Amino acid sequence: MSLPTEPFNAIWITSDDGKRAKPAVVHEITLDDLMPGDVTLKVTHTTVNFKDGLAMTAKGPIARKFPMIPGVDMAGTVIASDREDFKEGDEVILNGFGVGEGHMGAYASYARVSGDWLIHRPTGLTAAQAMAIGTAGYTAMLCVMALDKAGVKPEDGPVLVTGAAGGVGSVAIAILAARGYHVVASTGRPEEEDYLKGLGAAEIIDRNEFNGDVRPLAREKWAGAVDAVGSKTLANVLSQVKYGGAVAACGLAQGGDLPSFVHPFILRAVQLIGVELVMTPISVRKAAYDQLAKDLDMAKLDAMTTHIGFDDLLDAGQQIMGGKVRGRLVATL
């Protein structure tokens, strides 16, 4: 595949003052507009995460340099490389590493990146499936791995997943259910009950159960939890975790504060495990994808995935910010 000489479209974020982003627009660029990197890709697929919605709508300080192309996940084909470990024609995946924030990201036909951020697409995963997993699915797997490392077992009792109808929640439910856990899904969208049970959730509860006043300790309910919500929800979840249980926290959809108490940690030995995804080492990323290939039912992945095109990306950003996206979005470029 040769390097393009004609202009191509990108989702483009600019700023009037170099600090505050403006809402994204479609803009025509060339390879010369891309940032430096030792590998050039033809981007074939990407996805839309909550962070991408924040970037495109300018509702969060995601873009740190301007102009910026959003999109933290990409799958594509190497078309030029200065490295021995990535050759022309290699199929690769990129998740995070500040792409779409400080380095131009996935929402364009081509990308130029560092090979240090890439992994070869695992055998058995299509590019579309890799992006259906994306940062959200990869984060969900890291959360499940964290609970496993903390010693949370299916026989210990129910495991809670908050933000259940979102990308992280959907994949976490599918993985945990496949491993034999009794999964309880917390959501503010009761109309998604059939969808969540189809993924493997045994019970559905209203997210408002976690919006009340936080107590130092509440009745023990959960052997563990995957939380993508943060704030008061996470604080209430912690107060309900059983002795020796653990919570893997990976998001702040409700907020970045944590109005909690120390009691769950010092009286019930509860573990709060932070799951970081942007700068996770390559070795851990490969291990997570290997586990996903084993544990994630691809039929369930397909069931939680909606396919869109480049022209739908800006609207998808609005939709995900409005809490109207279920599961995973995959864009074919």
Taking CA 233 as the corner, what is the angle to CA 316 and CA 48, rounded to the nearest 5 degrees? 15
213 exposed, middle or buried (CB, 10 Å; 0-12, 13-18, 19+)? exposed
Phi, psi of 79 (to 5 degrees): -115, -10
Task: Report the predicted TM-score, pTM, of the whole model to 2 decimal places.
Answer: 0.87
Contact by Cβ (8 Å): 52, 134: no
The mean pLDDT value for 301-321 works out to: 95
Contact by Cβ (8 Å): 4, 31: yes
Three-class DSSP category at 172:
helix
Output the pLDDT for position 262: 98
Mean of per-residue pLDDT scores for the chain = 95
Which tokens hold the place of 51? 């962070």
Output the pLDDT for position 293: 81
Output the pLDDT for position 250: 95
Three-class DSSP category at 153:
coil
Which tokens hold the place of 176? 């945990």
Residue 228 has pLDDT above 70, yes or no: yes
The mean pLDDT value for 143-155 works out to: 97
26 pLDDT band, cuts 50/70/90, is: very high
Output the pLDDT for position 295: 86
Q: Which of 141, 145, 152, 161 is nearest to 223 (CA)?
A: 152
- Residues 92-102 pLDDT 10s: 999 999 999 99
Contact by Cβ (8 Å): 319, 328: no
- Residues 104-127 pLDDT 10s: 999 999 999 999 999 999 888 899
268 pLDDT band, cuts 50/70/90, is: very high
Residue 299 has pLDDT above 70, yes or no: yes
Q: Which residue has the higher pLDDT, 286 or 91?
A: 91
Output the pLDDT for position 123: 84
Output the pLDDT for position 5: 85
Output the pLDDT for position 1: 67
> In percent, how much of the chain has pLDDT > 90?
86
Q: Which of 134, 207, 202 is nearest to 174 (CA)?
A: 202
Q: Which residue has the higher pLDDT, 50 or 150?
A: 150
Output the pLDDT for position 294: 83
- Sorted by where each starts, the structural domains of the chain and their CATH numbers stand as 8-121+300-332 (3.90.180.10), 135-274 (3.40.50.720)
Upper half-sphere CA count for residue 321 (Cβ side, 13 Å): 16
